Structure 1
Amino acid sequence: MIPEFLRNVFTLAFVLVLFSISNHLEHESGLLTVTVLGVALANWPKFPRETILEFNESLTILLISVLFIILAARVELASLLSVGFAGLVLLAIVMFVARPLSVWASAIGSNLKTNEKLMISWIGPRGIVAAAISSLFAIRLQEYDIQGVELLVPLVFMVIIGTVMIQGLGAKVVGNLLGVREPETNGILIVGSNPITLLIATSLKDQGFDVIVAHNNYTNIARARMSGLRTYFGNPISDHADHHLDLIGIGRLFAMSMDKEMNTLSEIHYRHEFGERKLYRLKFSDEKVKSERDDKQSNFHSQWLFGKDVTYTKLASMLSKKSSN
């Protein structure tokens, strides 16, 4: 009923209207109403969650940015400088005393290692919640003529700026020093299970790459599993794959199936996950090259696997010659 290009706007408008009606009927009930609505929509099978989630991420970034600008507009540079040494002391206490104590207390009974606790202790940047709450408290406290309330917001913003700059920029260095940083995602998801695919997957695995072979051919997938490869039996673009295919450490897609439609759909499906520059497709001999067609095709998928002159037929011929020798 609703055009696809209006779904996001309609959903946002519907949520705002429902929030207003609920608050009008019962004070402060709007938040509970939209929360229940979100839970209900998330469990509705036909609800377009992916598009709404992408819109939600963009909207969240926009609203937080605008809110930061509005809140920061109340803080003058002179008031930030006025906190002086006391502000730096507060920043140090938050970073090196309060945050580590809260992390270590929360981790009692957990299986976190010491280096992991230290990393969590280091990463604790303050953000929009602290800024909004401090501004609200400052307004309320000013109504009661509390002395020193004018320092509350500048102190909080100094903590926000300090934690974001120091902890945010230093997270990579600290992660490397503590040995908790996840290695670069150089793993490869290979769609297909033909002999050429399995040969290339085995070679990549021998070179130290993390390889997953995904296809719906049970015989070939079983053969790949017996050779020691990580496998996924099923359609790699299905909902089941989205929930059960472990892509941790995987950063590239090799579309090498004999089914060219599956290759194309796999590129579309994993474009958001890996990025266009990390999508590769093995070319078949019947995919002729024309300049205009190449221009359109380059916008559809990133690049040919092993180059546009290397085809499945050539690789199969090389494999057969090697086997005969």
Structure 2
Amino acid sequence: MEKRNHSEVTEFVILGFFEFPDMQLLLFLVFLIIYLMSVTGNLLIIITVCSNSHLHSPMFFFLTNLSFLEICYVSVTVPKLLTMLIAQDNTISFMQCMIQMYLFMVCTDNEIYLLTAMAYDRYVAICKPLHYTIIMNKNICFLLAIASWTISFLNSVPHVTLISQSSFFSSNEINHFFCDIAALMTLSCSGASVIETINYFEAPLLAFAPFILTIISYVFIISAILKIQSAKGRQKAFSTCSSHLTVVLLFYGTTFGVYLRPQSPYSMDLNKLLTVVYITAIPLFNPLIYSLRNKELKGTLWKATRRAENYFSSRINKILHTVFDSNISTIN
């Protein structure tokens, strides 16, 4: 088969969900609703936490970082997907593809590190409650957050650099709905083996180590909870980490399903399905999981919603009275 260097490849064709040609409009509406709900939900959590001083704790500090990350997650991939579905424009330039792949890898790595930092926060809160304010001080929280973002940005550089310098087969069609590194490696004939070698040495340190630390944290957490005498005390302690544990299981379950399976051109269809879950479903469910299972955040969100409702109701009533200059019953 004739090969050509990456310099000859000026653009890629993202196949997207070509298996469903008659459902493109429906898929567009579904992903648009998911995208708007994800951005709105995570943005609401950020605004709520930042505007309420009693929520300025390490747990909510990491939650705002996670919510901001989820907004970045869906914004890196979904807008281009929406364009492909509605405008039938499946092409993406070489540079845009590399940038999208890099930012997606940054988001994936950062979520791993932030979830690990949040697991450590819950470990200290439950296992060392008397020293919690000393251990999880502002400096430590900022250091953990900065380290997560910095390592994520640096860790993705060699992978994208190698892919960008690779040569590709004659086909430039990406069997995915965005520029995923696994899909691009199936097209590359020069950089894939090097990237696999890097992953072999890097994964135990930068990927599996945080996962193992998260598992160890929850082993100590569950052990500490089981030692609590009262059932009410155990329930209260578990409720402080149940939201995070749910997100961890959802994220690692789908991520491992994609990246720990043997890669082949025939496995990309299943990869697309699993990737849809952790790109769209997780950013959508995270605000719901944290707001519904955290009483403090749920109460604050409810009060903010009531204040907003009262404000807009009063404004509408004022406008109606001004326009019609008559007695109009108050809108409930």
TM-score (norm 2): 0.21
- Larger helix proportion of the pair: 2
TM-score (norm 1): 0.22
Q: Which has the higher contact order (CA 8 A, sep 6+)?
A: 2
